[in-house]
Structures are given as C-alpha cells and as structure tokens.
Amino acid sequence: MDFPSLLRNPADWMTKSGPNGDIVVTSRVRLARNLKGMAFPGWSLKDDRSAVLQGLRSVIEGLPGMEDAFSRELKDLDAIRKQVLVERHLISREHAAKSVGSAAIMNPQQTLSIMINEEDHLRMQAILPGLQLHEALAAIDIVDSGVERSVKYAFDPKWGYLTACPTNLGTGMRASAMLHLPALVLSEQINQVVQAVNKIGLTVRGLYGEGTEALANLFQISNQSTLGESEREIIARLERVILQVIDHEKNARQKLAVEKPELLRDQIGRAYAILRHAHILGSKEALNLLSMLRLGIDLGFFPSEQRSLTDMLLMEIQPAHLQIEAKRKLSSEERDHLRAEILRRKLKNLPSPGISSGEEPGAGSN
Amino acid sequence: MDFPSLLRNPADWMTKSGPNGDIVVTSRVRLARNLKGMAFPGWSLKDDRSAVLQGLRSVIEGLPGMEDAFSRELKDLDAIRKQVLVERHLISREHAAKSVGSAAIMNPQQTLSIMINEEDHLRMQAILPGLQLHEALAAIDIVDSGVERSVKYAFDPKWGYLTACPTNLGTGMRASAMLHLPALVLSEQINQVVQAVNKIGLTVRGLYGEGTEALANLFQISNQSTLGESEREIIARLERVILQVIDHEKNARQKLAVEKPELLRDQIGRAYAILRHAHILGSKEALNLLSMLRLGIDLGFFPSEQRSLTDMLLMEIQPAHLQIEAKRKLSSEERDHLRAEILRRKLKNLPSPGISSGEEPGAGSN
C-alpha cells in the first residue's frame, strides 16, 4: 500500500463507531517486545539494528491480515509524512524522529500498527473505535502470537517481558482509551475527575500522549503499571474506571442540558457558526470548536451521521495533514488559512443547529 | 409624544444616512446657556430651579418644530427610561441622575434635544446623521434664537456666554462627531491618530463621552476650547481634522483589503456568524461584532441598506433598551440572553457574506 492510499483511506476508528462512541473515540492496546539476545535499539550497533529490522519486517509482513500493508523504513518517509502518521496515532512522536534502521508497518484499515526499533524492538498497537479494550487486546494478541512463532522474545519468568524502560516491564502492555469529555470541562469538574483517576494508579493525558495538552476536550486514560497483574486484569480495571468516567460525563451533559441550556446552545451555536465562517483558524481553536460540534451531535443538535466527519476533521486540520493536502511546506499563517478553508468547505452542508430559529433540538442520547 | 412612541420611532440619525455616513455615524452640536440673574442650577434653591424649569419648558415647547415634543420633568421618568435616553445620546449621564426641577424635551425626530437644569439652565443639542456639523449648528441656532426671544441669557461682552463650568465659557458650544474607525483599530494605528488629534486641542472619547471606553470602534472627536473663536471657526477647524481622520480610516481600509484580505474576511465572517448563532452575548462583545458587521457593509460584504439596521441594533442591545423590551428589570445574565436573542432574530434575514462560498465581495466604497 502506498502513502496516498493510506491517506485516502481513513482509519477504521475515524469512519466507524463503536460502543459508547459518543464519548469514547478510540481504544488502544500496545505491547512492547524485544528479541532475546539482542541489545535494545538504544544500545545496539547499526548493523544489529538493521538485522533486527530486516528479520522482524519480513515476519510481520507475512502475518495474516497484513496483506497489502503499508510498510516503510523511516528513512524512506519525509518529516511531513511521518508527522501524518503521528497525527493519526499510528506511530509515536519519538518514532517519527527516527530514520535508518527503524520502520513502521500497518494494515490497510490502520487497526494494527507496528513500530520496529522504536524504544523497544517491537511496539505493536491495535486501535479500534469506541470502548473496545478487550477487543483491541485480542487483536494485538493475534499479531503478538504470530510474531512469537518466528522469533524468541526476551522474557524472564519472574519479570515477564523485558523492556528498554522499566515502566513497561512485565506485560509490556499499555492500554488506553481516548475520551471526549466536553461537559466535564464546561462544568469545571474535569480536574476533580483527572485527580481521582490518577489516584488509583491510572494516567490521564492529552490528545498526543505524555506531556501534551488536553485539546478538543479529549483525554487519554491509560494503565500506569504493567507489572504484577495479567493483561486481562489490567484492562478490566481500566475499563471499570472508564465506565465511571463515561457516567460522570453523561451526568454532566444531562445537568448542563437542564441547568444551563443556553450555555450549551451558545457554545454549540458559536462553534457551528465560526467553523462555517472563519477565514483564519489556529489549530487549538479549531480543535476546540470541533469538540463542541461533536457534543452538538451527541446532544441531537446535528444528525448523528456527522460524528465521523468530525472525527476525520480532527485529523485533517492538523499541520502535517494540511501540508500534504497543499503538497508543500506551509507557514503557520498559511496553515491557519487552509485549515479554515477546509473546515468551511467540509462543513458547508452541515445543517444549521436549528437553534437560531428557536426550535428545540432532540433531547440527546442520554 | 409619549415614551412608547419615542421608543418606537428611532432617531433620524439611526434610520437615515448623511455625508460620509460609512464612517461618520452622527454629528452633534450642543450649546450651554444660563438665564441672566438666576443662580446656576447647582447653586440655586429648589423654588428658583422650579421657576426656571417652568419658564423655559413653556418657551421651548412653544418653538416651531417642537410640536408633539417628548417633554418630561425627570421625576416623572424611572431610572430605566432615563437610561434609554442616555443610550440614545438624547440626555447626558449626569442629567439622568437628576429628578425634581430638571427636564428633558426633544422633538419627535429626536434631532433636537434640550436639557433643562443640567449643569447649566439650558443644554440644547442638535444631532444629525453623517458629517453635518454646520447643519447641526444651524439647527440648534434656530432653537437658541427662538429661546432668546423670550428670555435674557447670562452674557458678558468679554467672556461670552457664562456657564457653570469655565470650560464651557464663551460660545458655550461643544461640537462633536462620532466616527466608526474599525480599520484604524485593526491595523493598530488608532493610538497614533488619537494622540495627534489630542495634540491639536481636540478631544477623542469613547461611545458615551468623557471617561468611557471606545466600544464598537466608535470614537467621538470634539472641540476642547470654547473661547476665543467663533462657533463657525471652531466647527471649521474640527471638520478639517475629522476629514483627515476619515481619509486615514479609508486608507487603512484599502490597505487591509489589499494586504490582509483574509483578516478582514475572518473578522467580518466571524462577526456575522456569531451574531447569528450565539445564545449568550455580553454588551461589549456584541458592540464589537456589530462594528465588524458595519465594516462589512461598508466594504460590500452585505447590502448597504443594512447599515441603519446595524446602527439601530447598537442602541437596542444596550441594557436599558433591553429592559424596556422585556418590560422588567433584568439581571446581567438575562440581558446577555435577550441581547443574543434579539440579534439572532433581527439579523435572521441578513444574507450570508458570501465569503464562505469563496465568492469575492464588492470592492467596497473606496
């Protein structure tokens, strides 16, 4: 699969909806694995890294489900194309900085994505729409078992899978869900929720992982510890918490709809209006407006089939996507113009929220 | 004329356009006069004030052009109604604080407005649309001469008309124009212009006179000195400066249209969009959005017949007007809701700026 095809075919999670899709955008599970007897990528010599890459690449490309995969050594992708993969959550920011000796492989649906020679020899991820952590684990487990039939993993009976960073030791698993929590933000309860989740040993992060800001009211909740519990136990615990956060968000939405209907209409009406009529839109503002549009869809202000459009736009208005669209490097100012233009064009046929004529929108999904 | 009629009939300056009406909203000339041999209102006893009031009121009501005038002693108007007169520039904020012994009289077109027992016995104002300072002087001159046929003014051959405050001594005249200068604000040249105007002995103020903020990009330019020159000389000097400021604003508009067309489209598009779809709008934000809408009209983004609608809305969304509309006292939050509702309703049929479909609007009025 070539890059233009990858770009043309949005990832499954962008076009399909999953359980609790009004609040959970994606579920991800990634496994870190290393080959027995080989130095971790950060410590290994160039030739060893290349040998690991060649070996693993052919194993992964040969797995069932990886027919017509997008598979590239990172030296063969320019900075903007690598950044597109980051924006789609297919590779990490750290991996995008790598070149010779590292590779990225993903299936055409972009539900499976494998990084070779990131921090570990293998980082394998499954990403699915909605709340599907167990399903994502099952999907990546198949890849993991497939690889293990051909190679020997670095594994210790006491410590489990050995990883470059001790925080991944044991299961080597990081499971996470991306939650859209606009009502908890609007009603100023989000800090409380984040603190509570942190207290019980889970981590809350922004849109692009560690150290990133919570843009578009999107929050990633993931397990912190990888040791001492089975994968299934970790995910079950994570899912219980996520279901509670979903409940909090639903309650906050209902409460806002009852107590502050004008605030909701104002925020959603403005988002609709500005997205349709602005000519200069920074990334942060645009993401936050799309968040309000998504909330509007959930609350019945807009038809629900618009949700995937919103999720796709969240990707398409990001810097690297814009520059691919423009087929050249763009200044920040040029990006702000193109971003506004794309949003105006793609949202041209979005029906008015019907709130300016005083009509009552549907009661929403609660 | 009763209050509801006054309210229903917008002032001439709100519905009609005058010379340079794209930039000059109104021209005003007011004269301060006192009766010979009577203490100034601030020093006089209640009975003397009442005698002055009764005498002047009957004289003014009898003048030609003042048939069916709106004439009230201020004790007969509640705080909100007095505030409506302030918002329409018909009486001063100071006058609205007065009650027994003070009155306001205005003709049905609201081009002439006379305050009795404000700081002086008489404050007589003519207000006209566009740049019509000489015409405003002529209009108020007729009133002034009419009054003088019946009363004797306090006048000193050396000092001219005597006034309670020495800053009004001489002609007793304050002439001013309200200018809409969005392009000078957008291009950050406004401070320079304000400083230059101040240096040559004129004053620049915000929407509601002394000490008020420049809301909606509206600036009042007026003469500072009232002494040592004739009324005509003062106005000629003021007008020359105003014409220069108009030129600066026109140049700034042209420059923006050429150098930053996207900034203009963005500001005007957002203003249109937010005014049509917001549900909560503070006074300051609404005034600034209406300013951008007015600029859009001047630049050909909207039909020019919409300009008077904008000028009327500038009044109608102000706190006292809103409370008259609601027929009750409103909290700040309730006002923000009603303001947004009125704007959505009144601008419902405003055609889209046509900029979201990528069409080029007309080149504008330059």
Q: Per-residue pLDDT tens for A5-46?
A: 998 888 888 888 899 999 999 999 999 999 999 999 999 989
Shared domain for A278 and A234, answered yes or no, is no
Contacts 24+ apart (CB under 8 A), B136-143: B136/B27, B136/B28, B136/B29, B136/B175, B137/B29, B137/B173, B137/B175, B137/B231, B137/B232, B137/B235, B139/B29, B139/B111, B139/B112, B140/B29, B140/B30, B140/B31, B140/B112, B142/B65, B143/B60, B143/B63, B143/B65, B143/B112, B143/B114
Residue B354 within a domain: no
CB contact under 8 A, A277 and B272: yes
| Last residue of one domain, picked from the residues B253, B278, B302 | B253
Q: A233 and A278, same structural domain?
A: no
Looking at the structure, tell me whether residues B100 and B151 fall in a common domain.
yes
Q: Does the pLDDT value for residue A160 go beyond 90?
A: yes
| Contact assignment for B269 to A278 by CB distance below 8 Å | yes
On whether both B266 and B154 belong to a single domain, the answer is no
Residue in B closest to A262 by C-alpha = B279
Smallest Cβ distance to B277: which of A269, A340, A344? A269
CB contact under 8 A, A344 and B337: no
| Chain A neighbors of B274, CB-CB under 8 A | 270, 273-274
Structural domain harbouring A188: 3-253
Q: Does B327 touch chain A (CB under 8 A)?
A: no
pLDDT at B365: 36
Same domain? For A267 and A154 the reply is no
Query: Would you call A353 an interface residue with chain B, using a CB distance cutoff of 8 Å?
Result: yes
**List of chain A residues whose C-beta atoms are within 8 Å of the C-beta of residue B356:** 276-277, 344, 348
Q: Give the model's pLDDT for residue B124.
A: 98
At residue B214, the pLDDT reads 72
Which pLDDT band, with edges at 50, 70 and 90, does A357 fall under? very low
Is the CB of A270 less than 8 angstroms away from the CB of B278? yes
Average pLDDT, chain A: 92
The 3-state secondary structure of A18-38, one letter per residue:
CCCCCCEEEEEEEEEECECCC
| CB-based contact, B329 to chain A, within 8 Å | no
User: Same structural domain for residues A26 and A85?
Assistant: yes
* Tens digit of each residue's pLDDT (9 = 90 or more) over A186-206: 999 999 999 999 998 899 987
Asked if B357's CB is within 8 angstroms of A277's CB, the reply is: no
What mean pLDDT do residues A62-85 have? 95
Number of other residues whose CB lies within 10 A of the CB of residue B149? 8
pLDDT at residue B227, rounded to an integer: 87
Q: What letters, b where the CB count within 10 A reaches 16 and e where it falls short, cover B305-321? A: ebbbbbbbbbbbbbbbb
Contact A270 B274 (CB under 8 A): yes
Chain A within 8 Å of B266 (Cβ-Cβ)? yes
**Distance between A260 CA and the closest CA of chain B, angstroms:** 11
Q: Could you tell me if B142 lies within 8 Å of chain A, comparing CB atoms?
A: no
* CATH code where residue B224 lies: 3.30.590.10
Give the list of residues 6+ apart from residue A144 with CB closer than 8 angstroms, or none: A31, A33, A124
Tell me, yes or no, if A256 comes closer than 8 A to chain B by beta carbon. Answer: no
Question: Over 60: is that where the pLDDT of A81 sits?
Answer: yes
Structural domain contains residue A112: yes
Residue in chain A nearest B266 by alpha carbon: A279
Nearest-by-Cβ selection for A277 from B279, B280, B356: B356
A279: closest chain B residue by CA: B266
- Inter-helix orientation angle A79-87/A319-326, to 10°: 130
Q: Do A262 and B337 touch (CB under 8 A)?
A: yes
Residue A365's pLDDT is 36
Q: Contact B277/A348, CB-based, under 8 Å? A: no
Count CB atoms within 10 A of the CB of residue B334: 14
Nearest residue, CB atoms, A279 vs list B262, B276, B277? B262
Rounded to a whole number of angstroms, the distance from the CA of B15 to the nearest CA of chain A is: 26
Kindly state whether A342 is in contact with chain B, defined as any CB-CB distance less than 8 angstroms: no
User: Residue B313 to residues A90, A207, B21, B275, B302: CA-CA distances in angstroms?
Assistant: 51, 42, 16, 11, 16
Structurally, how many domains does chain B consist of? 2
Positive/negative CA dihedral, B336, B341, B347, B353:
positive
pLDDT given for residue A208 in this prediction: 62
Nearby residues of B322 by Cβ (< 8 Å), 6 or more positions away: B316, B330, B335, B338, B339, B342
Which pLDDT belongs to residue A103? 97
Q: A362 in a domain, yes or no?
A: no
Whether residue B355 lies inside any domain: the answer is: no
* Closest chain B residue to A265, measured at CA: B279
CA angle B82, B86, B87 (to 5 degrees): 115
Strands (E), B39-121: 70-73, 103-106, 112-116
Considering the domain architecture, whether residues A193 and A48 belong to the same structural domain is answered as yes
Residue B314 near residue B346 (C-beta atoms within 8 A): no
Residues of B in contact with A292 (CB under 8 A): none
Cβ contacts (< 8 Å) between A272 and chain B: which residues?
277
Angle between helices B307-316 and B332-346 (to 10 degrees): 160
Interface A:B, Cβ pairs < 8 A: 62
Is there a domain that residue B85 lies in?
A: yes
**Is residue A247, in this structure, part of any structural domain at all?**
yes
Do the domain assignments include residue B150? yes
Calculate what percentage of chain A has a pLDDT beyond 90. 81
Q: CB-based burial of residue A43 (10 Å sphere; 0-12 exposed, 13-18 middle, 19+ buried)?
A: exposed
Query: Is the domain of B298 the same as that of B239?
Result: no
Question: Which residues of B fall within a CB distance of 8 Å from A356?
Answer: 276-277, 344, 348
- Residues A130, A241 within the same domain: yes
pTM: 0.87
Do B272 and B312 have their domain in common?
A: yes
Residue A351 contacts B where some CB pair is shorter than 8 Å: no
Which of A234, A253, A272 is a domain's end point? Answer: A253
Distance CA A16, CA B48 (A): 83
Instruction: Return the pLDDT at A211.
Output: 56
> What element of type H or E holds B345?
helix B332-346
Both A221 and A313 in a single domain?
Answer: no
Backbone angles phi, psi at A18, to 5 degrees: -125, -175
- Distance separating alpha carbons of residues A30 and A137, to the nearest angstrom: 8
Q: B351 touching A, CB under 8 A?
A: no
Q: Is B344 on the interface with A (CB under 8 A)?
A: yes
Q: Do the chains contact at A357 and B340, CB–CB below 8 Å?
A: no
Judge whether B364 lies within some domain. Answer: no
pLDDT for the residue numbered B357:
38
A330 in the same domain as A216: no
For residues B311 and B13, what is the distance between their CA atoms, to the nearest angstrom? 9
- In the three-class reduction of DSSP (H, G, I as helix; E, B as strand; rest coil), residue A223 is classed as strand
Per-residue pLDDT of chain B (366 residues; tens, 9 = 90+): 999 999 888 888 888 889 999 999 999 999 999 999 999 999 998 999 999 999 999 999 999 999 999 999 999 999 999 999 999 999 999 999 999 999 999 999 999 999 999 999 999 999 999 999 999 999 999 999 999 999 999 999 999 999 999 999 999 999 999 999 999 999 999 999 999 999 988 999 876 655 556 789 999 999 998 888 999 999 999 999 999 999 999 999 999 999 999 999 999 999 999 999 999 999 999 999 999 999 999 999 999 888 888 989 999 999 999 999 999 999 999 999 999 999 999 999 898 886 433 444 443 333
Cβ under 8 Å to B: A residues 29-58: none
- Measuring CA to CA, which residue among B77, B134, B148, B132 is closest to residue B106? B77
Question: Across the interface, do A274 and B270 touch by the CB < 8 Å criterion?
Answer: yes
Q: Which helix (H) or strand (E) holds A219?
A: strand A218-223
**Is the Cβ pair A277, B348 closer than 8 Å?**
no
User: Taking 70 as the threshold, does the pLDDT of residue A328 lie above it?
Assistant: yes
pLDDT 10s digits, A247-257: 999 999 999 99
Calculate mean pLDDT across residues A335-353: 94
Q: Name the region of A20 (left: φ>0; alpha: ψ -120 to 50; beta: rest).
A: left
